[in-house]
Structure 1
Amino acid sequence: MSVHTPPPAETPSEGLGSAYPVHKPYIHANTVMPELTWSAVLLGAILGIVFGASSLYLVLRVGMTVSASIPVAVLSITVFRAFSKILGTRPATILENNIVQTAGSAGESIAFGVGVTMPALMILGYDMELVRVMLVAALGGLLGILMMIPLRRAFIVKQHGSLTYPEGTACAKVLIVGEQGGSSAKTVFVGFGLAFVYQFLMQSLRLWEEYPAKVITKFKGAVVSLESSPVLMGVGYIIGFRISCVMVAGGMLAALVLTPAIAFFGETAATPIFPGLKLISKMNPKDIRDSYILYIGAGAVATGGIISLFQALPLIVSSIGSGVRDIRQSNRGGATEQSDRTDRDLPLWMVGLGSIALVAAIAATDLMPTDLSGRLMGAAMVVVFGFLFVTVSSRLTGEIGSSSNPISGMTVATLLLTCLIFVLMGWKAPSYRLAALSIAGIVCIAASNGGTTSQDLKTGFLVGATPRSQQISILVGALTSAVVIGFTLLLLNDASTVVTGRAEYLPTAQVDVATLTETATHQGKSYHVWRVVAPIKGAQPGKYLVDDQGQAHFLIDPAINGRVDTRDDGSKVVKYDAPKATLMALIIDGIMTGKLPWNLVLIGVFIAIVMHLAGVPALAFAVGVYLPLSTSVPIFIGGLVRAAVDWIKKTPAEESDSSPAVLLSSGYIAGGAIAGILIATLAIIPQASKLFDLSTRLPAHWNSSPWPSIVAFSFMTLVLFLVGIGALLRSVESPAVAEGIKGREEDL
């Protein structure tokens, strides 16, 4: 591929006025080259589905995702280059590669919004319906893009130089390097392959223990464990040492302070202590966590989210004011003149009609299972909160980046305001709980996708893309990702749902079956369905199958936020803690029903407040309290490797964030997550799981020893460290590439 020569500086567009900074795009506005091609959109949609599925897996496990734009851009460059060599087709242009990363980036942002909100359906006691999940994902994703389009000139063009859009700028650098002959895709592919094989050997063949643990015998209730997952180690490397330390500290508080304290003080209790169903003296650490720690953690996460919202409030308020002023000035400056290719948006009439159609769909469908007034109120709140937080998100990502964008805080604010409005209107029926969650889900996804769209348009602005082409491609990417993410969420839940008849999981209380209207069939018998949405005396929250006398026979325990990780036949399943979804469910229940074990929740509330007063990031610490310690430990190890690499190489932060080890970590996350999804799919067929399981053929001492797991995990850690310091997979770029990066720094 020939090296593109950057054009001379161009003056601001005539219709935009002198207020716009001078900008030299990498591809001149007068240059015509292939851009919105079917191959670019198709590859972008496929990569968006892959990274969307892996991001959904990640947000269900630990409540966070990582940006997909740079890995998608790197993979696009390599895939098109390989096709060109093998098939003899023309090389892809930089603008086609930009279309791929634009379409592909939608998957990650939609996955975050879906994973943060929709699993709360299960926690609130409802079934997760595919149509509801897909509608929320699609409507929120499309609405976020359409609402951001009118903001492009105000934020991307007019404030070029003041709003930096860090991820968008970094992605533009990657595309320019790829255009000039460089690529680091090998690092992503190696990470993907290693993590995929590792996960398959561990979870499917069961060659080593996934959760090696050490019980501290003289410290009752204390267990130290590790989830030997390269996915979580990759997350830790990307988020860095500071946040990973805070998360593991929260996990240590829960596992090594709160759990032993409950075990010690509850040892002599003669009766079960609410909301537990059995004596604390008979509980193991997992029982204590399920019965007590989860409520403490949920209270801490809720408070941490609210604290994050208040911390961001001044910036949000100023962003709203600045955004409105920028839009007015942009429109007065001649925003309708679009003579240059690089200044052509989708027509505003099309954006307006599309937005109206989406809002009408929200009001007309069963997303709002209420009367007409409730539907109209819900649609109005989506418009108001949606445009408000899309504007805020689009601007904040320009100032502080997508990684620091408080989408969770915006979602919490939406949910709090929605629930309070419903309560003030006297709307407390169960249908309004569903409506509140749907509103929050759409707004969350819209805000998340609005921020992602802003980063993509910034990348396009820097490389000289056509905004309209990018907007079309991300609309396509959002729609395809929304459909597949809905299926993926239900697949993960169905694959690890456990139906158990073990007495330890069944309530001792009985229910009046006359109050139950739902029935279900299991093993050829018909049962009444009893949904316990909050702990009551003698029953934990859950979905139970009861007979005509009101006696429970089975618990249907979902994969998401479930507590039973072993089927009655002894086979293991993967459970997903979904910490952010638990926060959403807690807010809805707390405001609209008040049926919560408030003493435990308030302990969590004040833990988060104490951490905030001590200067510790409260939300990260709270997530650590809620998640098992085994989940936080590999994240901490990844952060520790990042600290060691940065200390050895003395790498500046901006370079460290796009280093080979970060790309390897992205590969770890994608490869391990995709393998986890495929293995979860196999778990639906017990015979397939048993066919691959080799643990029964291994020596007993091998299966019971933690050392095989520790050695395997240490190998993945060593590879990450060696790539980080440049001892492995060192990419040798051509002088033209190095000069290209250096020479374009001012433009970016």
Structure 2
Amino acid sequence: MSNVLEPSLKSKKAGIAFGFVISFVLGAAFVFSALKAGITPGISPLVVLFGWVAMGAFFKKDMKGFLAMAQVTGSAGVAVTAGVAFVAPIIQILAAELGEPVPPVDILSLILSSAAGCFLGWGFVGLATERFLTDPKLPAPEAVACDRLIQTAADNPQARPPLMLSLVPGLLFGFVMAFLSQIKVLKASIYDLKFTLSGVETKLPLPINPLYFGIGALLTVPTAVLIFFGGLLNAVVKGMSAAQGMPGTTFRWVGGAAMVVAVVYSLIAYIIEGRKTRNALADKEADYNAEQLEIPDDRRKQLLGSIVFGAILLLAMMIYSGATIVGLVALGIVALLLIFFLSGLGALLSLQVGSSASPVSGTVFMGMLVLSLVGLAIGLEGIQGVYFLVPIIVAACVAICASNDSSQDYKTMQFNGLKVSSSFVGQIVGLLGGAISVPLAVYVAHETGTLGSEALPAPQAAFFATVLKSLFIQSDIPLMPVLAGTGLGLVAVTVEIIGKRKGIILSSLAFAVGIYLPSYIGTGILLGSLARLSGTKSVTKITHRGILTAAGLITGDALFALLFGILAIAGMEIAGVEGFNYQTSLSVLFFVGLLLTTAINYAKTSAIEK
């Protein structure tokens, strides 16, 4: 008799329906956090917690099946958010930098690109399920957190964490602080740390933004520290380049070169680890339930069909954009190969460090760089060449981010003894929900805040725009910043290798991402992570109430931004307050409130969690 469980039909349908709503809403809301901070956290534990609290009374007997399906479906929309928000704004940012008319967001094109990426990523990772889920050495932090939550919900449904003391305060803090910042009642930062290096003064603001706090509170402390030090280097490079009359984009080249080194190292490690896993499987050393990972023939055909359909969508977009036969063949083949390899790398990195900490923008950058070089080789040039490439890059990015999320979700199914292939339908439903809502939210963001502006800096897209501008328009790559970044990348990789030997994950990609993010983002993330540490007294521990609070901070800020954008498009304006005399005092008060709310909720644990 089989010991592999299948979720009941009722729990499966309910989990997919519940997850689709969550995916659609959070996918749209988190667009604003991605455009502001350049980082999207893994939200699978949040979806499980919310499903437990909201629907726990209805699924007492099949809580496990419902929550597992809900987290697979519900977390997928934010994966699409990352894929679109990290790349799509390239067009608007580059046009503004060149003084060209800034085009509006093409919603239909973004939906098609996103859908192509969803189908490709879903197909490739689904077929590689056995490859990713048979390596016992991968820690899969989000999957472990979800597994514990689901087991707790199934065994002790009455132990649901109190929303009114965790999620609700987080939502209120996030929403109210975003509103008060919009009307200029709160300051962006409460203090500027200043120091002098080689005669150049460097400034490092201490932000009070709930978004950065929330992201930091969901990340591991080592990852937050690496992002902070990358941001610190960003501030130093900015100061030194300004003093020497160098371009303001110098820091982006330093971060980009460091990222290339980190991605190359990760790709080599991925290939080596894959070979070791295959050898272990061949020698029957791996300990896993083969029946649990088995993919039925009809589902396998669906995954293959998804890849074919995604490829057709990709080619259709290229034909619509006027691609030649050579362009179709060259870019089509290269894009599919990149998505195949980089989605695999994205899935592996996610299982290594968690989808929150997995810097997918690094793998996306590598893909963009290869596609750009192929584009140049077939004759693409100027801003029109960039416009042609961006939808292809969006599809690749969505596929990579989808694999980043789905590998954790499938691992959660495995931990809970559920047949992994039973969650495949939920995953693609959630992804397609995000493929619809995310482009709409990007349109709202651009119409009200302008992509690439100070309010919506879109750090990844701004960096990618700098690279594409140099490749396609200026034909000039600054050598010294690239060499400096390469050296830093080698140092970061060395630190990562040493950390692995000591059992500590110190991602070189996290450090590289921190270099090209605005420095204040890294500082805010570190503050949130330290608030979590002060509550848990542990570098790795995470609590139910803490997760809800951190997610509330992010979601509250994002929901205000979405609501504000919709109201602005409708013609309503929120005017700023003039001459407010207590801005500094109120800002400090909210800063202390953020610290205490985050720390207290991370300190509160149930008897089950202890």
Alignment TM-score > 0.5, same fold: yes
Matched, 1:376 2:329: yes
In the TM superposition, 1:41-190 aligns within 5 A as 41-81=16-56, 84=58, 93-125=63-95, 127=103, 128-156=105-133, 159=134, 161-180=136-155, 181=157, 182-184=159-161, 186=163, 188-190=166-168
Instruction: Work out whether 1:450 is the aligned partner of 2:403.
Output: yes
Distance 1:251 1:200, change over 3 A: closer
Amino acid at match of 2:252: A
- TM, length-normalised to structure 1: 0.69
**In the alignment, which of 29, 34, 42 is matched to residue 10 of structure 2?**
34
1:354 aligns with 2:306: yes
Quote the Cα distance in structure 1 between the aligned partners of 2:223 and 2:60: 45
Q: 1:254 to 1:396 in 2, by over 3 A?
A: closer
**Counterpart residue type for residue 708 of structure 1:** L
- Give the Cα–Cα distance (whole angstroms) in 2 for the partners of residues 415 and 200 of structure 1: 33
Cα distance change of structure 1 residues 177 and 490 upon mapping to structure 2, 3 Å threshold: same
From 717, 721, 730, give the equivalent of 2:599: 721
CA contact (8 A) 1:306 1:409 kept: yes
Distance 2:237 2:314 in 1: 46
Q: How does 1:486-501 map to 2 (within 5 A)?
A: 486-496=439-449
Distance in 2 between the 1:59 and 1:609 partners?
Answer: 28
Paired residues for 1:350-499 under 5 Å: 350-366=302-318, 368-428=321-381, 430-496=383-449
CA distance in 2, matches of 1:412, 1:609: 18
Q: 1:243 to 1:298 in 2, by over 3 A?
A: same
Deviation at 1:318, TM superposition (A): 2.0
Q: Distance in 1 between matches of 2:280 and 2:113?
A: 30
Change in 2 beyond 3 A, CA 1:214/1:58: same
Superposed, 1:232-247 pairs within 5 Å as: 232-247=212-227
Q: 1:319 to 1:252 in 2, by over 3 A?
A: closer
User: What is the match of residue 254 of structure 2?
Assistant: 300
* Contact 1:52 1:481 survives alignment (8 Å): yes
AA in 2 matched with 1:711: L
Aligned identity (percent) is 18
Partner of 2:504: none
User: Shift of residue 392 of structure 1?
Assistant: 3.1
Q: Secondary structure at the match of 1:582?
A: helix
Quick check: 2:193–2:206 contact (8 Å CA) kept in 1? no
Map of 2:555 onto structure 1: 670
Query: Deviations 1:403-425 (Å, cap 9, x if unpaired)?
Result: 45453332222222222223333
Partner-residue secondary structure (3-state), 1:225: strand
Instruction: Check if 1:585 corresponds to 2:465.
Output: yes
* 1:196 CA displacement: 3.7
Residue in 2 that maps onto 1:688: 573
**What is the rounded CA distance, in whole Å, between the counterparts of 2:269 and 2:441 in structure 1?**
35
* Equivalent in 700, 705, 708 of residue 586 of structure 2: 708
Match of 1:225, as an amino acid? P
1:591-670 counterparts in 2 under 5 A? Answer: 591-595=471-475, 598-599=477-478, 602-603=480-481, 606=484, 609-610=487-488, 612-613=490-491, 620-621=510-511, 623-646=513-536, 649=537, 651=538, 653=540, 656-658=541-543, 660-670=545-555
Which AA in structure 2 matches 1:688?
Answer: E
Quick check: 1:368–1:438 contact (8 Å CA) kept in 2? no
Aligned residue type for 2:590: A
* CA distance in 1: counterparts of 2:481 and 2:338, whole angstroms: 31
Q: Which letter does structure 2 place at the counterpart of 1:701?
A: N
8 Å contact from structure 2 (residues 27, 81) kept in 1: yes
Secondary structure of 1:710's match? helix
Q: 1:405 to 1:315 in 2, by over 3 A?
A: farther
Taking the aligned partners of 1:220 and 1:317, their CA distance within structure 2 comes to: 43
Give unmatched runs, 5+ long, in structure 1: 1-9, 14-23, 266-272, 275-291, 497-558, 564-574, 742-748
Q: Is the 8 A contact 1:41 1:103 kept in 2?
A: yes
Cα deviation, residue 466, structure 1: 4.1
CA contact (8 A) 2:257 2:489 kept: no
Distance in 1, Cα, partners of 2:436 & 2:176? 29
Q: Residue 170 and residue 631 in structure 1: after superposition, are their counterparts in 2 closer, same or farther (change >3 A)?
A: closer
Q: Distance in 2 between matches of 1:344 and 1:105?
A: 24
Assess if the C-alpha contact under 8 Å between 2:383 and 2:472 holds in 1: no
Whichever residue aligns with residue 300 of structure 2, its letter is L
For 2:179 and 2:550, locate their aligned partners in 1 and report how far apart those are by CA, in whole Å.
19
Report how far residue 297 of structure 1 moved.
Answer: 1.9
Tell me the amino acid that sits aligned with residue 406 of structure 2: T
Distance 1:456 1:326, change over 3 A: farther
Matched, 1:318 2:318: no
Distance change >3 Å, CA 184–CA 612, structure 1 → 2:
farther
- The answer (yes or no) to whether the contact 2:26–2:78 under 8 Å persists in 1 is yes
Deviation track 1:358-388 (CA, whole Å, cap 9, x = no partner) reads 2112112257542233123332223222222
Partner of 1:530: none
Question: More displaced, 383-392 or 236-245?
Answer: 236-245
Q: Is the 8 A contact 1:664 1:720 kept in 2?
A: yes
Residues 339-368 of structure 1: CA deviation (Å, up to 9, x unaligned)? x89865753222222321221121122575
1:676 deviation in Å? 2.3
> Could you say if the C-alpha distance between residues 371 and 190 of structure 1 is closer, same or farther in structure 2, counting changes exceeding 3 Å?
same
How many Å apart are 1:435 and its aligned residue?
3.7
Runs of 5+ consecutive residues of structure 2 not aligned to the other structure:
96-101, 496-506
Q: Distance in 1 between matches of 2:527 and 2:383?
A: 43
Q: Deviations over 1:688-710 (max 9, x none)?
A: 313xx5x24xx6422xx422111
CA gap of 1:135–1:223, structure 2 versus 1, over 3 A, is: same
Give the superposition deviation at 1:324. 7.3
Which residue of structure 2 lines up, in the alignment, with residue 514 of structure 1? Answer: none
Q: Report 1:534-545 matches (<5 A).
A: none
Distance 1:164 1:619 in 2: 18
Change (3 A) 1:424 1:255: closer
- Give me the TM-score of the superposition, normalised by structure 2: 0.84
Amino acid at match of 1:172: D
Q: 396-405 or 369-378: which moved more?
A: 396-405
**1:231, 1:672 within 8 Å by CA — same for their partners in 2?**
yes
**2:99 corresponding residue in structure 1:** none
Look up the equivalent residue of 1:259 and give its one-letter code: G
Question: SS state of the match for residue 113, structure 1?
Answer: helix
CA distance in structure 2 between the partners assigned to 1:129 and 1:325 by the alignment: 47
1:545 match: none
Specify whether residues 611 and 97 from structure 1 end up closer, same or farther in structure 2 by C-alpha distance, changes over 3 A only. closer
Cα distance per residue 1:575-620 (max 9 Å; x no partner):
2222222232233233333445x55x74375156347537677654
Secondary structure of 2:374's partner?
helix
The one-letter code sitting in structure 2 at the alignment partner of 1:664 is T
CA offset at residue 488 of structure 1?
0.6
Question: What residue is the counterpart of 1:193 in the other structure?
Answer: 171
**Residues 533-578 of structure 1 deviation map (CA, whole Å, 9 limit, x = unaligned):** xxxxxxxxxxxxxxxxxxxxxxxxxx22236xxxxxxxxxxx2222
Contact kept? 2:63, 2:154, Cα under 8 Å: yes
CA distance 1:261–1:117, change in 2 (3 Å): closer
SS across alignment from 1:311: helix
171-180 vs 345-354, greater mean Cα deviation: 345-354
RMSD value, Cα:
3.6
CA deviation string 1:161-208 (max 9, x = no partner): 354533223212211111121333626523443334433541355443
